[in-house]
Amino acid sequence: QVQVVESGGGSVEAGGSLRLSCTVSGYIYSNYCMGWFRQPPGGVRELVARVVIRSGDTFYADSAKGRFTVSQDNAKGTLDLQMSNLKPEDSAVYYCATKRTFGGSCTAYVDFGLWGQGTQVTVSS
């Protein structure tokens, strides 16, 4: 059974940085794309960034552009999210997800079939 596990959340002051890591079990190239989502309290789950594994093509939400960087390590089977210049509005539970069906969209919540348990990120002002 394929598992998706996140790590690296925590608390930081505004302007600080955090690095989240996602590990997917098995062969990473069995995944079409992987992404990071976040869900604030009472809010909806939204895409932060995603990578199409074989091509390396990346997509960032407007809120993440210029501050967040997503990177994949194919040998380790990991997808990291480096977050800098964090703001209180970045506080949320961050989820890693993978789509194992090849082709099609990789931007909507419903596109991704496997999810991690989530990791909390709290940014204080």
Model confidence pLDDT, tens digit, residues 33-82: 999 999 999 999 999 999 999 999 999 999 999 999 999 998 898 999 99
Structure confidence at residue 86 as a pLDDT band (50, 70, 90) = very high
Structure confidence at residue 122 as a pLDDT band (50, 70, 90) = very high
As a 3-state breakdown, the chain gives helix, strand, coil percent values, each rounded to 5, of 5, 50, 45
Q: What percent of the chain has pLDDT over 70?
A: 100
Structure confidence at residue 17 as a pLDDT band (50, 70, 90) = very high
Tell me what pLDDT residue 74 has. Answer: 87
Structure confidence at residue 2 as a pLDDT band (50, 70, 90) = confident
For 46, the token pair is 């939204």
> Which residues does 62 contact at the CB level (< 8 Å), separation at least 6?
none
